Amino acid sequence: MLANIRIVLVQTFHPGNIGASARAMKTMGLTDLVLVNPRCFPDPEASRLAAGAEDVIDSARVVASLADAVSDCVQVVGASARLRSLPLPHFDEPETMASELVSHAVDDPVALVFGRERSGLTNGEIRCCSHQVSIPANPDYGILNLSQAVQVLAYETFKAWRQRPENDHHQPRPAEERQPTREQMEHFHDHLSRVMQASGFLTQPHACTQTQLQALFARARPSRKELSLLRGLLRSLEPDTTDASDRS
């Protein structure tokens, strides 16, 4: 199950932070590392600071965008300061986040996402996430190094995994009862946007409206079966462009 828990680092500037993060991961049993547009990788400094976790570095994948990194994940938690302008579900306590993340990782891939050393995640990248989490810290100096943040959340995740009952012989849930992947949710939101514009509900791009609807469905957490039902509803509302002579 720990193999289903992915650590994603977005545009890491210092290669040494990649190595230190890999070390933090391995100490907590995590091995799936994905890098989004790192400034310099591979790099000897990353391998040096991995200090025994070179296998995590060697198997790390590099992708072009955060969407590529998490498309198959059912839950994506962005580590950031709480952004009230983006009303995604927010975990105030990493322990609570880890418990939920582990419960989803039993059946499907999940991800913890960390942003740039100086500026963190952009609003657009946060929108790729299903949730946010903050690490409680000294309000006068709450700045953690990237690898320290990875270590804290990886520890909470490992602890949640260890606390699962030893005799918990989990039976895989049917696919339709599980959470949609981020790719499936993205297709749904694109479909919803097309229908809203075609209906006249949106006469021009309304980023605020669409962001609020994304947050609404993130809180609702529809299953794959429920999402399929919603897609069917949207299809029924779309104008029929088939010519009458083509209908049987």
Chain segment 20-53, per-residue pLDDT in tens? 999 999 999 999 999 999 999 999 999 999 999 9
Question: And the tokens for 57?
Answer: 């570095």
pLDDT digits (tens, 9 = 90+) for 71-89: 999 999 999 876 556 678 8
CATH of the domain at 137: 3.40.1280.10
Q: What is the mean pLDDT of the chain?
A: 89
What pLDDT score does 242 carry? 46
Residues 20 and 97 placed together within one structural domain of the fold: yes
Q: How many domains does the chain have?
A: 2
Domain boundary, last residue among 139, 162, 185: 162
Residues 23 and 100 placed together within one structural domain of the fold: yes
Highest mean pLDDT among 73-77, 122-126, 192-196: 73-77
Calculate mean pLDDT across residues 223-242: 87
Residue 34 placed within a domain: yes
* pLDDT confidence bin for 113, thresholds 50/70/90: very high
Structural domain boundaries enclosing 200: 175-236
CATH of the domain at 186: 1.10.8.590
Say whether pLDDT at 226 is over 70: yes
More confident residue, 91 or 169: 91
Residues 108 and 213 placed together within one structural domain of the fold: no
Residues 56 and 144 placed together within one structural domain of the fold: yes
